[in-house]
Structure 1
Amino acid sequence: MNPAIIRGATLLVLSELIFSLLAALVKHLSEDYSNAQVVFLRNFVALLVLLPYLKWRGRLHFRINRIGFHLLRSTTGISSMYLYFFCLGVLPLGETTLLIQTSPIWIPVIAYFWLKEEFKKSYLFAGLFGLLGVALVVRPTPSDFSPVVLLALLGAMLGAGSRVTIRKMASTETSNSIVLYFSLISSVITAVPAVLDWHPIARSDWPLLLALGLTAAAGQLLMTKAFMLAPSGRIGFWSYTQVVFAFLLGFLFWQETVHPMSIAGAICIVIAGLISTGYVSLWIQRLRHKSG
């Protein structure tokens, strides 16, 4: 196998592990601090990490072409983050991560209505698999159902909207400017709610709060590097390893058990994600090519 693909896949798995640790930190800190405070510190510390890094790499540029799309991307991304972090404080870590990972299923729908992109038949199958997976995970019965899962799904949809906005910006903006301005705008917008709902920070928690931003920046940079080394079609499915890491961390630190239906739902959601992002059709084409 191509060494670049192996390295890219390794970096992507490492980034997903870091994002899982970020989610675990959020869940732990949500017990003592407000959602607004945690969201702000995650973005602000990430900004403090990104600024010197981009300066060191010679990529610190503030000139942009479409401020409106930067604002749209930031507001949808921040809204998704608020919902995600809130759900982490209420729902099991693994199930919250799994519901947020339904985001790729919603991307083709948003892209169809907004960007007028083609809606393939495979997207319909992806949607059906995704909805089945969600139903298995949330177990919508009076005894098991929590309305908070609807917020997690809304967060996934907003996250999908944020990603589609990035696609819209790709022709005029650089990846560095998109990452930088997201952290900058997010820090400004989330500062006010954080101040209004600020809780004194214990000295022992400062390292954990600082780790929020460090893990966010490190995960983002590693993920970006991974997709620079290898095509997304060859390594992108490794993003779902975050679900595995989240379930393991939930079991280790919060003794969260994994319901058999959640495992079945996870399989359906992963299949849906692979279909919607084109990996299944790519694999089928390769098999046909080899057999031919």
Structure 2
Amino acid sequence: MYNHFLMRHLGIYYMLVASICFAATGAFAKMLSSDMSSIEVVFFRNLVGFILIIIALYKKPLHQKGGRPFLLIFRGVIGTLGLLAFFYNIANINLAAAFTFSKTSPIFTALLAAFIFKEKLSSKGWFAIFIGFLGILFIIQPNLGVSKNDLIGLLSGIGAALAYTSIRELRKYYNTGVIVLSFMIFGTFIPLLCMILAEFYTVSYLDFMLAPFIMPDTKGWIFIALMGICGTWFQIYMTKAYAASRKAGAVAAVSYSDVVFSMIFGLMLGDSFPNFIVFCGIALIVLSGVLVAKEK
């Protein structure tokens, strides 16, 4: 009976493990950010992924239809921009808040699906979007002034939403491995170009995109390795979670647990506990995401 219960909910357990690994990836990124720029963290994070994908594709070459190279480029560029914004927030604000901003992507994805793909949203779907935006207002608190970190946080969510939306079309032409590889290529070389450019030209308000390379010390290399391992485990267990579950919506809803785990890791790293209004905003965005996931 216990084994039957375990197998029935295996996808949920896998997603919990994936969420812990994703939060740990963010925690190691935050620790790295004290010695190097968030751009460099993104570079190393994607470089590890790029190497692993190349090894996997070498063992099992892919065959795909192809035919949408510009959309593939768009996904790579906009996805990398969203990732740069996400890791910049990890370095500069509470870990839980950074993760929550990135979790606004399903809200924007639902809106894009409604207006671009003409998908009909139920009343529950529109309600989820409403409380999601209410949560964003609670976190940003515009009456106190909108900060640069707030805008970059929204950029991380919008960038991820645009990237996810483009994948829907790309899947008709490319294998998943090719889509991931193209993202890793852009996610590695765009930060590299940004670091090279930063050696000659810097702008303070673009510091989430322009910062010079700093050679990691021994501790930095260890954290880079751990970040890469946790990131790989996240991808593995997330894939297992969706493969083992018959209800993708339930698994997607459980993925929001990484906000809780990121809050725990953040507190361990010295983050302050969110104030009541911000905490309510986090809760509303998580609830919004869960409701959107249940719509799938």
TM-score tier by shorter-chain length is 0.7 to 0.9
Question: How many correspondences in the alignment?
Answer: 277
Q: Corresponding residue for 2:62? A: 61
Q: CA deviation at 1:255?
A: 4.0
Q: Corresponding residue for 2:185? A: 184
Q: CA deviation at 1:2?
A: 5.8
**1:49-94 Cα deviation digits (max 9, x unpaired):** 22224444x3x32756032222111111100011111111111111
Comparing 44-53 with 88-97, greater Cα deviation is found at 44-53
For 2:8 and 2:175, how far apart are their aligned partners in 1?
Answer: 23
Tell me if 1:228 matches 2:243: yes
**1:211-257 Cα deviation digits (max 9, x unpaired):** 33332232122212211111312322111110000110111111422
Aligned CA distance change for structure 1 residues 76 and 5 (closer, same or farther; 3 Å): farther
Q: Corresponding residue for 1:215? A: 230
| Contact 2:72 2:182 (C-alpha < 8 Å) held by counterparts | yes
For 1:42 and 1:70, how far apart are their aligned partners in 2?
Answer: 20
SS in structure 2 at match of 1:254: coil
For 1:40 and 1:127, how far apart are their aligned partners in 2?
Answer: 33
Comparing 241-250 with 262-271, greater Cα deviation is found at 262-271
For 2:38 and 2:268, how far apart are their aligned partners in 1?
Answer: 23
- TM-score when scaled to structure 2? 0.85
For 1:64 and 1:21, how far apart are their aligned partners in 2?
Answer: 36
Q: Corresponding residue for 1:32? A: 35
Tell me if 1:17 matches 2:13: no
Tell me if 1:241 matches 2:257: yes
Comparing 196-205 with 96-105, greater Cα deviation is found at 196-205
Q: CA deviation at 1:272?
A: 1.3
Alignment of 1:120-139 (within 5 A): 120-139=122-141
For 1:170 and 1:38, how far apart are their aligned partners in 2?
Answer: 29
Q: Corresponding residue for 1:256? A: 272
| Contact 1:50 1:217 (C-alpha < 8 Å) held by counterparts | no
Q: Corresponding residue for 1:7? A: 10
For 1:252 and 1:9, how far apart are their aligned partners in 2?
Answer: 25
For 1:212 and 1:273, how far apart are their aligned partners in 2?
Answer: 26
Percentage of identical aligned residues: 23
Unmatched 5+ residue regions in structure 2? 198-211
For 1:194 and 1:62, how far apart are their aligned partners in 2?
Answer: 34
Alignment of 1:29-178 (within 5 A): 29-56=32-59, 58=60, 60-61=61-62, 63=64, 65=66, 66-142=68-144, 146-178=147-179
Comparing 1-10 with 184-193, greater Cα deviation is found at 1-10
Comparing 1-10 with 66-75, greater Cα deviation is found at 1-10
Aligned CA distance change for structure 1 residues 180 and 217 (closer, same or farther; 3 Å): farther
| Contact 1:94 1:247 (C-alpha < 8 Å) held by counterparts | yes
For 1:176 and 1:122, how far apart are their aligned partners in 2?
Answer: 34
CA RMSD in angstroms comes to 2.2
SS in structure 2 at match of 1:89: helix
Q: CA deviation at 1:141?
A: 4.0
- The one-letter code of the counterpart of 1:25 is F
Aligned CA distance change for structure 1 residues 115 and 106 (closer, same or farther; 3 Å): same
Q: CA deviation at 1:14?
A: 1.0
| Contact 1:13 1:238 (C-alpha < 8 Å) held by counterparts | yes
For 1:155 and 1:73, how far apart are their aligned partners in 2?
Answer: 14
**1:132-155 Cα deviation digits (max 9, x unpaired):** 21222233343x863311210121
For 1:3 and 1:175, how far apart are their aligned partners in 2?
Answer: 29
- The one-letter code of the counterpart of 1:96 is A
- The one-letter code of the counterpart of 2:157 is A
Unmatched 5+ residue regions in structure 1? 283-292
Greater than 6 Å deviation, 4+ residue runs: none
- The one-letter code of the counterpart of 1:129 is I
Comparing 166-175 with 188-197, greater Cα deviation is found at 188-197
- The one-letter code of the counterpart of 2:118 is K
